[in-house]
DNA sequence: CTTGACCTTAAAGTTAGCTTCAAGGTTAGG
DNA sequence: CCTAACCTTGAAGCTAACTTTAAGGTCAAG
């Protein structure tokens, strides 16, 4: 299978597949006499695994150390440890999320509950002081190895699309 | 207050404070005749707010559009909308996390439950096929604007660490 | 008047995970 | 034989949120 076909079957871009090879993540690739890459059908599964693991929160680096070049020879111990650790991360996050959510709700209420005799400025100061006085970690939506971030348009650009200058000024 | 003192009081680095000014996030700063920056005591609170909002999952860009230069003149509507959206993100994540956790647990069990008459290779294939056959989003620990990531050493790099040329050959 | 702790700037570097670009080689169809 | 659709490479660019570097100015103490 040539790279174009593999790209089509996996839904990944050619550049991404070449990139994975470049960083040593995808090793099941040979060359035809003309220099073209050629992949075994297995490669579809490997790439599926990689993207699944990514969605589960593993970095490409972690995936590389876990993924055997031969799909049949896994390092059970390392794999189990990684999976277990990831579960622990999720559990830690599960504990924090309700707190963060409650804290945000409280913040909203706090802002809306402005006493009639208080002006905006004083109210703002009141709310801010309250907030910064709370546990500093109350709004912390991070847990161990895991962290919440903004994704923006990082998912699957289908059309090459119009680029967007972030224009930071 | 000079930048060193502000850095000390907030726990941030000088470079970070200058950076926030550079991207238009921190505007309460004047210059002394000698060119030194000078900050009002208020700046401590503003930086506290910024880091708190960051921990709550807001990007610096979002914070900039929400944070008024004058702490007493907030855009209530925009602020409420942002807070509400962030809560929704958290709730979406709260729904997904148990599923992801369950899926990872199932994966672990699946790997360990290898039938006695099956060799590792076949077992690996069985597990992989099972996994990739599941809902592709089952392991997806992302939700809307929110995403799980590995933090590694992104918090306070103590040692610069050895660089690694991506070129693997 | 020198030393050291501050302060200044612009520019480049860092990390992750890619994409885009520039400049070309290959191949199948008409 | 030409053209379009593939394929190749290395290098550079992108985003976010900073840090680091280089080259220098300021200031208080001794």
Q: What is the pLDDT of residues B23-63, one digit of tens each?
A: 999 999 999 999 999 999 999 999 999 999 998 889 999 99
Question: Which pLDDT score is estimated for A65?
Answer: 94
Nearest neighbour of A45 by CB, restricted to B93, B128, B167: B128
Whole-angstrom Cα distance, residue A146 to residue B150?
5
Inform me whether the pLDDT recorded for A161 exceeds 90: no
Is B106 exposed, middle or buried, given 0-12, 13-18 or 19+ CB atoms closer than 10 A? middle
Spatial CA neighbour of A61 closest among B103, B168, B145: B168
Put simply, the chain B residues between 3 and 22 with a CB less than 8 A from any chain A CB are none
* Contact: B57, A150; criterion CB under 8 Å: yes
Question: Which pLDDT score is estimated for B66?
Answer: 94
Angstrom CA distances, B124 to A35, A141, B130, stand at 32, 35, 10
Whole-angstrom Cα distance, residue A1 to residue A43?
9
- How high is the mean pLDDT of chain A? 82
* Contact: A72, B111; criterion CB under 8 Å: no
Distance B128 CA to D15 C1' (A): 33
Question: Which pLDDT score is estimated for A44?
Answer: 96
Residue A5's nearest nucleotide, by CA–C1', is D6
Q: Which residues of chain A (21-40) touch nucleic strand D at CB < 7 A? A: 35-37
Question: Which pLDDT score is estimated for A68?
Answer: 92
Residue B157's nearest nucleotide, by CA–C1', is D19
Distance B64 CA to D13 C1' (A): 25
Inform me whether the pLDDT recorded for A73 exceeds 60: yes
pLDDT band at A136 (very low <50, low <70, confident <90, very high): low
Question: Which pLDDT score is estimated for A135?
Answer: 64
Inform me whether the pLDDT recorded for A165 exceeds 50: no
Question: Which pLDDT score is estimated for A141?
Answer: 72
Taking 70 as the pLDDT cut, the residues of chain B under it are 135-138, 142-169
- For the residues A83-100, what does the mean pLDDT come to? 91
* Contact: A71, B136; criterion CB under 8 Å: no
The bases of strand D with some atom under 7 A from any protein CB are 6-9, 14-21, 25-27
A2 touches chain B (CB under 8 A): no
Question: Which pLDDT score is estimated for B160?
Answer: 31
Inform me whether the pLDDT recorded for A28 exceeds 90: yes
- The answer to whether the Cα torsion of A73, A78, A82, A88 is positive or negative is positive
Sequence-ordered alpha helix ranges (H) in B40-167:
42-55, 60-66, 76-112, 120-133
CA distance B26 to chain A (A): 12
**In this predicted model, which residue has the larger pLDDT, A91 or B151?**
A91
Window from A37-41, A52-56, A66-70, A146-150 with minimum mean pLDDT = A146-150
- For the residues A153-163, what does the mean pLDDT come to? 32
Whole-angstrom Cα distance, residue B90 to residue A101?
7
Question: Which pLDDT score is estimated for A31?
Answer: 97
Question: Which pLDDT score is estimated for B135?
Answer: 64
Put simply, the chain B residues between 85 and 124 with a CB less than 8 A from any chain A CB are 86-87, 89-91, 93-94, 97-98, 100-101, 104-105, 107-108, 111, 120-121, 124
Question: Which pLDDT score is estimated for B12?
Answer: 97
Inform me whether the pLDDT recorded for A21 exceeds 80: yes
Which residues in B lie closer than 8 A to residue A73 (C-beta atoms)? 120-121
Question: Which pLDDT score is estimated for B55?
Answer: 87
- For the residues A90-107, what does the mean pLDDT come to? 90
To test the contact with chain A by mutation, choose from B22, B51, B53, B55 the residue with the greatest count of A C-beta atoms within 10 A, namely B55
Nearest neighbour of B121 by CB, restricted to A72, A84, A149: A72
Inform me whether the pLDDT recorded for A149 exceeds 60: no
Distance B131 CA to C13 C1' (A): 40
Inform me whether the pLDDT recorded for A63 exceeds 90: yes
The SS3 call for residue A64 is: helix
Whether CB of A166 is under 7 Å from strand D: the answer is yes
Question: Which pLDDT score is estimated for B144?
Answer: 54
């Amino acid at each position: 299978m040539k790279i174009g076909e593999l790209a089509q079957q996996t839904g990944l871009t050619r550049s991404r597949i070449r990139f994975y090879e470049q960083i040593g993540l995808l090793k099941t690739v040979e060359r035809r006499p003309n220099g073209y890459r050629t992949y075994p059908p297995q490669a579809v599964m490997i790439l599926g695994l990689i993207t699944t693991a990514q969605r589960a929160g593993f970095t490409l680096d972690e995936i590389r150390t876990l993924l055997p070049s031969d799909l049949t020879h896994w390092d059970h111990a390392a794999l189990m440890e990684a999976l277990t650790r990831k579960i622990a991360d999720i559990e830690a996050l599960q504990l924090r999320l309700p707190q963060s959510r409650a804290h945000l709700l409280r913040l909203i209420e706090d802002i809306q509950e402005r006493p009639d005799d208080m002006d905006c400025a004083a109210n703002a100061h009141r709310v801010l002081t309250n907030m910064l006085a709370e546990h500093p970690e109350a709004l912390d939506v991070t847990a161990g190895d895991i962290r919440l971030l903004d994704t923006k348009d990082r998912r699957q650009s289908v059309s090459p699309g119009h680029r967007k200058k972030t224009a930071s000024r």
